[in-house]
A and B are shown apart, each in its own frame.
Chain A
Amino acid sequence: MFKIVRKKELNSSVTLMEIEAPFVAKKAKAGQFIIFRIDEKSERVPLTIAGYDREKGTVTIIFQKVGFATISLGNLNEGDYIRDFVGPLGKPTAVEGKKRVCVVGGGVGCAIALPSAQAFKEAGAEVDVIVGFRNKDIVILEDEFKACADNLYLMTDDGSYGEQGFVTVKLQQLLEAGREYDEVLAIGPVPMMKFVCKTTEPFGVHTMVSLNPIMVDGTGMCGGCRVTVGGETKFACVDGPEFDGHKVDFAELMNRNSVYRDREAEVSKTHTCRMETMGKKLIP
């Protein structure tokens, strides 16, 4: 069993939790992920590691409450336990030997982009960070990014905070202005990562993306997370999750990620209904 030692709502749909998991904390590196399972009947769900404290033996996860499992996790509180928490899984972000990088984070993906940006900084790189959010209300981790970025560019779709526009607008500006990067690392929703790759391609900038396919075991035994990279089949859980974005088949990834969409919609519907019925009984 794994104890939730801290819980903080970062915005209306994004939660931070610090979980007591000494073995994971000891080995975790930026770019790696964990798989959690709340109780005996729950699914195994992957989440990228957002931070760790080796001395305290804790691992930080930041997640958006989008499906049954993440909503259920979000309903737990400090002091509660979850059944399983396994990791670190996958390969860490390759930070060595890079002089100048740009880390691009989108929405809740910023939680995963942060430790990679910090790791690049620690490895001695000059780090630009571009983070994008729909609007001011959902901005997360601004101070943390400020602390590790040489230049931080904060974008909102509606211009309610920072600069107006998508992350790709800022990236395009920087590249056109002649800014040179050894690598761009993009982490966020699949369409965002795809467009970041389209933006960097004409400039020939090496671009890595952190993929988020459906996973079951996360140890390489089922191939549920397989993606096509440069025409070859790769298992994101062991070969990734970070891959050369210019070689990733994004259309296939988006298609495969929708396999259980109908069932997920149904589950959240029945779930909400159940809550409503219960609620109505309590508060007539």
Chain B
Amino acid sequence: MANMTLVKTPMPEQDPQVRAHNFEEVALGYTPEMAMEEAGRCLKCKNPKCVEGCPVNIRIPEFISLVAEGKFQEAYEVITSTNSLPALSGRVCPQETQCEARCVRGVKGEPVAIGRLERFVADWYRENVNAMPQKVESNGKKVAVVGSGPAGLTCASDLAKKGYEVTLFEALHTAGGVLVYGIPEFRLPKSIVANEVKKLEAQGVTVMTNMVIGRVLTIDELFDMGFQAVFVGSGAGLPMFMNIPGESLKGVMSANEYLTRTNLMKAYDADYDTPIIQSKAVAVVGGGNVAMDGARCAMRLGAEHVYIVYRRGEAEMPARKEEQHHAKEEGIEFKTLCNPVEILGDENGRVCGIKCIRMELGEPDASGRRRPVEIPGSEFVLDVDTVIMALGTSPNPLIRSTTPGLETNRKGCLIVNEDEMTTREGVFAGGDAVTGAATVILAMGAGKKAAASIDAYLSK
């Protein structure tokens, strides 16, 4: 008999008062007992809708049944047969719009906590088994993967499993892309990402850091070096600014810069050399997950007031509900229906305030969301000494500008066909480089699909 309780088994979390001042993981994860209890809520549907909601089609009821029986290793094997990075996706996927959105238990009550269970299985395996994958016998074919974010890691792993000799090129000094520079330690511990990269190396993938493709080597030179196909998973790392007065003052930066200093360079740790601005009051402009991450880092770095400034309402925020909730618990103040018009500076060229105008929601725009409209004469000033712009990112032009024949749309995103192949023969692409800024799991799904297409292309 299934566990018919209407709510998810709660997952222990650090107390908000405590965690707002440290970079340790917020969510502590299930114990084996909690996991088995929650797994008991799954009805093992004959025609499981949850699987359709998962971009990498994990056989969800199958792995959950195994968890319910306490067969955690077998559950891990089921998950990793379709998803190489469960410890990551279990933590950062927006399950509420994917697998869990389709769960029948969600019709009346809360859906089964699929994400938490996936995370439990991955963590249990890492802590108890952590066997490194075996290297498959080489098929003699070389593939280059550009970018070591979620798309590149997934593509490289899938190709290695099929016997390809894969080299992964990363521009920064650490592999992982947004998983290491963007998503903070308190949501995704970096040791977990490092473990995934280690597994990839065990599969025979060569990881080369400090390699900026487009400068150090071009795509054409990769083919000259003997790579027979290239996957471009270079993401969308180019930050946008608002082009309002005062944006070049000291104390204004992109969320990418703030998060890179904090996460990749560990500026929060006094043992590390990279400096970060010491702020008393911070305005983070934007309403996505990156804005929430920036705000929560600012709080942990010691700011007394942290504001989220967003031009639409709370309901329209693209950030995950869970992240909004966590941010609020930690004391982040939401200034919704507000849009910055100017950043104010003092005599030393430092930020001393941000002038905003209040907004109201008008008619829906092309995206279907109600368009924010300024309320004349409603300007006000927030006293802040730091402004973090989290307005979104677009693909970096470095690769497309150095690769003849690689076509992009007007937003700079690479154009691909149904097999993820770009307009250049043998060059495939996926993730944010194709879609513009999206989610980790969509990038993983694209990396997976591209690996299958590359395999088909090179097996012809």
Contact = CB atoms under 8 A, between A and B. Distances in A.
Given A24-B216, A222-B257, A255 B250 contact: yes
Interface stretch (B89-97, B115-123, B205-213, B356-364): B205-213
Contact of B215 (A83, A89, A256, A260): A89
A238 B398 CA distance: 8
Contact of B248 (A37, A85, A226): A226
Contacts of B254: 222-224
Interface stretch (A41-49, A116-124, A167-175): A41-49
A255 B345 CA distance: 12
Interface stretch (B13-21, B57-65, B156-164, B271-279): B271-279
A216 interface: yes
Interface residues of A, number: 39
Nearest to A264: B275
A44 B173 contact: yes
A89 B396 CA distance: 14
- Chain B CB within 10 Å — which of A84, A226, A233, A252 has the most? A226
B203 interface: no
Contacts of B173: 37, 44, 83-84, 86
- Residues of B contacting A: mostly: loop
B167 interface: no
Interface string A205-225: 000000000001101111110
A41 B274 CA distance: 8
A222 B239 contact: yes
Nearest to B253: A224
Contacts of A44: 173, 265, 274
Nearest to A23: B216
A87 interface: yes
Interface in B361-382: none
A145 B240 CA distance: 42
A84 B275 contact: no
A259 B250 contact: yes
A88 B277 CA distance: 29
10 contacts: A41-B266, A43-B274, A43-B275, A220-B238, A222-B239, A223-B241, A224-B253, A226-B248, A249-B248, A263-B275
The 9 closest A-B pairs by CB, nearest first: A221-B237, A222-B257, A255-B349, A86-B210, A84-B173, A260-B275, A43-B273, A223-B254, A222-B256
